[in-house]
Amino acid sequence: MINLEVPKKFAALVNQAQQVANEVFRPNSRKYDRDEHTYPKELDMLAALLDGMNASGEGGHGASGVRRKKDDGEGVRNGANLSTVLGTIELCWGDVGLLLSIPRQGLGNAAIASVANDEQLARFKDVWASMAITEPGCGSDSAAIRTTAVLDGEHYVLNGEKIFVTAGERSDAVVVWASLDRSKGRAAIKSFVVEKGTPGLEVVRVEDKLGIRASDTATLRLDNCRVPKENLLGSPEIDVERGFAGVMQTFDNTRPLVAAMAVGVARAALETARELLAKAGVEVDYDRPANTQHAAAAAFLAAEADYEAAYLLTLQAAWMADNSKPNSLQASMSKAKAGRTATEVTLKCVELCGALGYTEHELLEKWSRDAKILDIFEGTQQIQQLIVARRLLGKSSQELK
């Protein structure tokens, strides 16, 4: 059974992540929000530290630590998924965009960890990998991908365009989702590690954004890009019976990570709002019913309750992955709840704090901008609700669209 307290063995990791968030991320948060396309050099030393922690077995705070393990019969396990989620929450209390900019901790690293074989894990262990799924004509429906991969001797030839690639300019490689045979639908979608410098891979532009400005978001073009066939993640076989399950396993691991990001920024907003309300003479009393308190205190308590639900769902999804339990439903539930909660909670905190929330005197307005993407990428709110409905009702993607 899951224990809802932070495991004692992760206490040091959580404390280290909190120190990084407080001493590195928070002090530089506004700086890189204003200077959007400048790489945060402060992260180089942090990346080296995380590499050392991962190598020593202590586990870091980024996506590279995520990997599902087989059940070994040893009972309840608190492993890499839970530790990564806990570390991510703390770091995003500091700054979401800076977390997404840490070298070798990208969402593509989580994709590699999810489906790569042992040889690929060793080969790409020092690579900073972004993940490229979305296309101009394909947003939430990742099964509608039009990028193609055609086997030609010892290489796959990739052609297509990818948009909104997080860390797409700065990363060392990109995990590209492409179809081996578009006539076979979802089952033919595979993921490929395309290293930067490969002829035919071009960064077309870098986007200006509402939030997470410390992180670069790029558009990529693949024009007859030849990728070694050993860079295909997972099996090259098109299994119509298994369908999309291989590449979709990536989402079972990355969606709880995005949920953790949302939980972190929501907690940051709540803590700041509570402090500012107290300074204004509005105390939140946990021993009295909400309807007997100041309207602002009652609204704060409602927002905090939503945060708690998102936090617990996120821990559940990560814990299930660590304990070899199917967690697709819980991954989508945590992503849907946390993404929506972060957006609503940060905006509510801006509202409760009035002018202080709306201006740059505090980070509240920035957090409200950063939070919006957490309800969009890795599957929108609407897509998550659709997935949850299919799981609960036992419907296929064809039966419930």
Residue 198's alpha-carbon distances to 87, 166, 223, 226, 239, in angstroms, are: 33, 19, 11, 7, 29
The predicted structure's pLDDT at residue 72: 58
Q: How many CB atoms lie within 10 A of CB 246?
A: 19
Q: Is residue 304 part of a domain?
A: yes
Residues 141 and 213 in one domain: yes
Residues 54 and 117 in one domain: yes
User: What is the distance between the alpha carbons of residues 168 and 170, in angstroms, rounded to a whole number?
Assistant: 6
Residues 277 and 190 in one domain: no
Q: What is the mean pLDDT of the chain?
A: 91
With H, G, I as helix, E, B as strand and everything else as coil, classify residue 43: helix
Q: Is the pLDDT of residue 66 over 60?
A: no
The predicted structure's pLDDT at residue 398: 83
| Beta carbons of 63 and 254 less than 8 angstroms apart | yes
User: What is the distance between the alpha carbons of residues 57 and 11, in angstroms, rounded to a whole number?
Assistant: 15
| Beta carbons of 2 and 66 less than 8 angstroms apart | no
Q: What is the DSSP letter of 172?
A: S
Residues 104 and 22 in one domain: yes
Residues 190 and 313 in one domain: no
pTM score of the predicted model: 0.93
User: What is the distance between the alpha carbons of residues 59 and 61, in angstroms, rounded to a whole number?
Assistant: 7
Q: Is residue 399 part of a domain?
A: no
Q: What is the DSSP letter of 24?
A: I
Least confident of 87-96, 243-252, 359-368: 243-252
User: What is the distance between the alpha carbons of residues 229 and 21, in angstroms, rounded to a whole number?
Assistant: 40
Q: For residue range 40-62, what is the model confidence (pLDDT) as tens digits?
A: 999 998 887 776 666 655 554 44
Residues in the chain: 401
Q: Which of 62, 96, 123 corresponds to the end of one domain? A: 123
List the CATH number of the domain containing 86: 1.10.540.10
The predicted structure's pLDDT at residue 61: 47
Residues 368 and 271 in one domain: yes
Q: Which positions are annotated as active-site residues?
A: 378
The predicted structure's pLDDT at residue 277: 98
Domain count, the chain: 3
Residues 110 and 139 in one domain: no
Least confident of 187-196, 237-246, 250-259, 273-282: 237-246
Mean pLDDT of 204-224: 98
| Beta carbons of 235 and 194 less than 8 angstroms apart | no
Find the helix packing angle between 295-322 and 80-94, rounded to 10°.
150
The predicted structure's pLDDT at residue 55: 60
| Beta carbons of 66 and 80 less than 8 angstroms apart | yes
Q: Is the pLDDT of residue 196 over 80?
A: yes
Residues 70 and 139 in one domain: no
Q: Which of 201, 233, 265 corresponds to the end of one domain? A: 233
The predicted structure's pLDDT at residue 69: 55
Mean pLDDT of 215-221: 98
Report the DSSP beta bridge partners of residue 199: none
User: What is the distance between the alpha carbons of residues 142 and 164, in angstroms, rounded to a whole number?
Assistant: 13
Residues 250 and 381 in one domain: yes
The predicted structure's pLDDT at residue 60: 46
The predicted structure's pLDDT at residue 64: 41
Residues 143 and 87 in one domain: no
Please report which confidence band the pLDDT of residue 245 belongs to, taking 50, 70 and 90 as the band edges. Answer: low
Full domain range(s) for residue 309: 245-393
Q: Which residues of 113-129 are buried (b: 16+ CB within 10 A; e: fewer)?
A: bbbbeeebeeebbebbb
Q: What is the DSSP letter of 63?
A: G
C-alpha dihedral, 380 to 382 to 388 to 389, nearest 10°: -160
Mean pLDDT of 36-42: 95
List the CATH number of the domain containing 147: 2.40.110.10
Q: Is the pLDDT of residue 285 over 80?
A: yes
Q: Is the pLDDT of residue 113 over 80?
A: yes
The predicted structure's pLDDT at residue 47: 84
List the CATH number of the domain containing 250: 1.20.140.10
Residues 386 and 252 in one domain: yes
The predicted structure's pLDDT at residue 71: 57
Biggest CA–CA distance in the chain, Å, is 73
78: its two tokens: 């608190």
Q: Is residue 362 part of a domain?
A: yes
Q: For residue range 2-26, what is the model confidence (pLDDT) as tens digits?
A: 777 889 999 999 999 999 999 999 9
Q: For residue range 323-367, what is the model confidence (pLDDT) as tens digits?
A: 989 999 999 999 999 999 999 999 999 999 999 999 999 999 999
Residues 294 and 347 in one domain: yes
